[in-house]
């Protein structure tokens, strides 16, 4: 078992290392699930077989020691060398290969359940959601608000409530589902989303937008035009660059239901299909979003971003996500 366990641990380490160095796109949910299953099997084997066997061996050693003491006592020898308690405790002690498997199972199981069904941590990698979220923000994503989903396969098992317009949502990037993206829900199923001359219009009604003081980006050391937008029940801020086009035509892909969208030099109009959502970044002119790769199906939803729990470069960023 020591050799087998060494091979299993080496396989996990090789997978993690190859993923870290970019040899392939890893799947942390799958890795955590496999770690939970493997350590769980070791935990069961430890409780049902290995530990009873070690206790049995320790009991046999104790019985032999007692028999030997009795024989020596009959011979008039009262003092016996050797510490039998230390020997039996060493026999019962968990070996290293069970420490690194069965011993870790409770911790791995707790992380797996917490991450899969309650809250999952994410780190913001890009500036597409500035000013709401900045690069380096560490956020928590509510995994149950839209309904519980089975890990790895992402199949919904409870309903929850559907995403609302204005929610900041994490989802599996449709062109490459192994990647997680974060954007704001702009269009719900059945909505008509228009973006004309950098004004957002939902179902024929312009979304209320007001200018606020310019935003200073300390990473680029520049100012950007900042606006306050009311989207559904959410009031949030967004950035608009008046010198950038509404979208980059060459970057628009041939996504599913592409026929639902119509593009022009002034902007675009999209009819959101049933069971899908239209997403946009708050940094409107620096966001690769539904304008380019299409709609997000319900089965791609990961959860709702609810809280920034740390940003090491700006502690003021900590707080609820609006």
DSSP letter for each residue of 35-54: HHHHHHHHHHHIIIIIHHHH
The C-alpha atoms of residue 101 and residue 35 are separated, in whole angstroms, by 9
The C-alpha atoms of residue 288 and residue 128 are separated, in whole angstroms, by 7
| Tally: H helices and E strands in the chain | 7, 16
- Which residue of the set 116, 143, 183, 304 is catalytic? 183
Tell me 281's DSSP state.
-
Q: Any catalytic annotation for residue 128?
A: yes
DSSP letter for each residue of 114-155: HHHHTEEEEE--SSTTTTTS-TT-EEEEESSTT--B-TTT--
Q: Any catalytic annotation for residue 55?
A: no
- Which residue of the set 128, 224, 287, 290 is catalytic? 128
Residues in the chain: 322
Q: Which residues are catalytic?
A: 128, 183
């Amino acid at each position: 078992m020591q050799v087998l366990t060494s091979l299993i641990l080496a396989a996990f380490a090789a997978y993690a290392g190859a993923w870290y160095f970019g040899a392939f796109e890893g799947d942390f949910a799958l890795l955590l699930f496999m770690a939970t299953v493997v350590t769980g099997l070791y935990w069961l084997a430890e409780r049902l077989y290995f530990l009873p066997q070690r206790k049995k061996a320790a009991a046999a050693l104790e019985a032999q020691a007692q028999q030997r003491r009795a024989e020596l006592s009959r011979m008039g020898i009262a003092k016996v060398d050797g510490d039998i308690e230390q020997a039996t405790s060493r026999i019962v002690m968990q070996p290293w290969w069970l420490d690194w498997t069965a011993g870790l199972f409770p911790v791995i199981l707790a992380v797996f359940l917490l991450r899969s069904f309650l809250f999952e941590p994410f780190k913001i990698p890009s500036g597409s959601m500035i000013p709401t979220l900045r690069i380096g923000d560490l956020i928590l994503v509510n995994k149950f608000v839209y309904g519980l989903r089975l890990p790895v396969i992402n199949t919904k098992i409870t309903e929850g409530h559907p995403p609302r317009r204005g929610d900041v949502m994490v989802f599996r990037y449709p062109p490459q589902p192994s990647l997680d993206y974060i954007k704001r829900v702009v269009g719900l199923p059945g909505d008509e989303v228009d973006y004309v001359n950098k004004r957002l219009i939902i179902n024929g009604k312009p979304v209320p937008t007001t200018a606020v003081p310019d935003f200073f980006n300390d990473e680029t050391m520049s100012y950007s035009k900042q606006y306050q937008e009311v989207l559904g029940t959410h009031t949030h801020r967004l950035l608009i660059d008046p010198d950038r086009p509404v979208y980059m035509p060459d970057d628009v892909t041939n996504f599913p239901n592409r026929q639902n969208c119509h593009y022009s030099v002034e902007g675009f109009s999209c009819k959101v299909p049933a069971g899908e959502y239209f997403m946009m970044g708050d940094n409107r002119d620096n966001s690769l979003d539904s304008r380019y790769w299409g709609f997000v199906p319900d089965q791609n939803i990961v959860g709702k971003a609810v809280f920034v729990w740390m940003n090491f470069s700006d502690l003021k960023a900590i707080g609820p996500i609006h």
